[in-house]
Amino acid sequence: MAQQKAALSFDLIAKCSVSRARASTMTLPHGPVELPMFMPVATQASLKGLTPEQLESLGCRLCLNNTYHLGLKPGQATLDAVGGAHRLQSWNHNILTDSGGFQMVSLLKLAKITEEGVRFLSPHDGSPMLLTPEHSMSLQNSIGSDIMMQLDDVIATTSPDKERIVEAMHRSVRWLDRCIEAHKYPEKQNLFCIIQGGLDLELRRECVKEMVKRDTPGIAIGGLSGGEEKAKYCAVVRTCTEMLPDMKPRYVMGVGYPEDLVVSVALGADMFDCVWPTRTARFGNAVTSRGTLNLRHASYAADFSPVDEDCDCPCCRSKENGGLGVTKAYIHHLTGKETAGAHILTMHNVYYLLDLMRNARQAIIADAYPSFVKEFFGKIYKYDTAEYPIWAVDALKTVGIDLTEA
């Protein structure tokens, strides 16, 4: 197998002396990003009402676009004419695109997967369409993302069909080869492979071996975050990171709950994405250091405290300190009624997750990640260890962090 070209450089800065947590810097075509990191999802080339200027001001340097959505709107011809997604949305930092395969499964009822690709009905006119690895690469080449994902055969981890899971894993490897073959610009766009294999750890190991051989610039762990038990999720992540080369970024797809992030970092993952923080913001839910708050609840109608007292985002920061001084009551007043309410809370939620990972990175560099994890859980559960989720306690124990000890 030929050595793959990479359009990134990866520097491992520090490793936690207890857990598998790592701090690194990845330099992509549109500048360096610091790992571990959370990547907000700008599905249709816009982060849900925020301007690129606002997203940049939150410290985001790598966000997602969805290939499937951009393929429909504005469409490949327009993307080519405009000159790619960076140009389309005037975003001068990095973009990661998925392959389009996940939306086939999540959004469409009639997706049928064959060796050739994913068959589905066009949401425009109902005509049959086919998404192949080659087509996915072509679309992502038109988008011009800094990180592209291979088309993989995604099935729900909760699927009881063992045979189908095996088939999907092997097919994902074959599709990776087709993607590598079809990728036009390996010198300026990085293609990441996606490890599949359901919740079967043996299958996952086999997949890791095959994928690592292909030597892609980065490696993703896919097919998770689909409603499986958290303990099983952790086992898969741990199994994969154990075998993955140190000098490549590791991306766990579709993960966005703060607790999942903190635990997954301890298990050795570097990158995460999820629509949850931005979607839930539109429903009036604030992600905070003390858990998620549903600000639509009547109890917040006259709560004039900031969304998160410990947060330094532009919304939570007080007017005296140059922030907007937004209160929970004001979000309550706006949620579901004015778009700007969603914008404000989206900013907060994105900032919270970016900042959580920035702080995690600092802790890893200071070799204090275990105490960072303890403080993080302590704050959410008021240091009542009985309240800590068992899956998190167990998963962290496997990498040497004992949440229950003082």
Nearer to another protein, 18 or 295 (CB): 295
Would you say 117 is a known binding-site residue?
A: no
Residue 220 is classified by DSSP as: E
CB of 127 to another protein, least distance (A): 11
CB of 336 to another protein, least distance (A): 8
CB of 53 to another protein, least distance (A): 7
Q: How many CB atoms lie within 10 A of CB 225?
A: 20
Nearer to another protein, 223 or 314 (CB): 314
Let me know: does 44 contact 254? Beta carbons within 8 Å: no
Would you say 100 is a known binding-site residue?
A: yes
Would you say 313 is a known binding-site residue?
A: yes
Would you say 76 is a known binding-site residue?
A: no
User: Which helix (H) or strand (E) covers residue 209, if one does?
Assistant: helix 201-213
Q: Active site includes 273?
A: yes
The footprint of another protein (CB under 8 A) covers: 44-54, 57, 69, 73-74, 78, 81-82, 87-90, 106-110, 121, 123, 126, 301-302, 304, 314, 319, 324-327, 329-330, 332-334, 337-344, 347
Which is it for the CA torsion 50, 54, 55, 58, positive or negative?
A: negative
Q: Active site includes 260?
A: no
Nearer to another protein, 95 or 235 (CB): 95
Phi, psi of 102 (to 5 degrees): -65, -40
Nearer to another protein, 20 or 86 (CB): 86
The answer for residues whose C-beta is within 8 angstroms of residue 1's C-beta and 6 or more apart is 213, 214, 215
Q: Which of 146, 273, 308, 355 is catalytic?
A: 273
Nearer to another protein, 178 or 317 (CB): 317
CB of 93 to another protein, least distance (A): 14
Using CA atoms, how far apart are residues 271 and 167, in angstroms rounded to an integer?
A: 27
Using CA atoms, how far apart are residues 345 and 279, in angstroms rounded to an integer?
A: 10
- How many residues does the structure list for the chain? 406
Would you say 193 is a known binding-site residue?
A: no
Start-to-end Cα distance in the chain: 50
Would you say 99 is a known binding-site residue?
A: yes
Using CA atoms, how far apart are residues 396 and 382, in angstroms rounded to an integer?
A: 19
CB of 121 to another protein, least distance (A): 5
Would you say 98 is a known binding-site residue?
A: yes
Using CA atoms, how far apart are residues 349 and 342, in angstroms rounded to an integer?
A: 10
Quick one: which of 260, 277, 250, 128 has its CA closest to 193? Answer: 250
Q: How open is the CA angle 106-111-116, to the nearest 5 degrees?
A: 120
Q: Which of 98, 153, 200, 270 is catalytic?
A: 98
Catalytic amino acids?
98, 273
Residue set of the binding site: 98-102, 152, 196, 223, 311, 313, 316, 348
Output the known binding site for substrate.
Answer: 98-102, 152, 196, 223
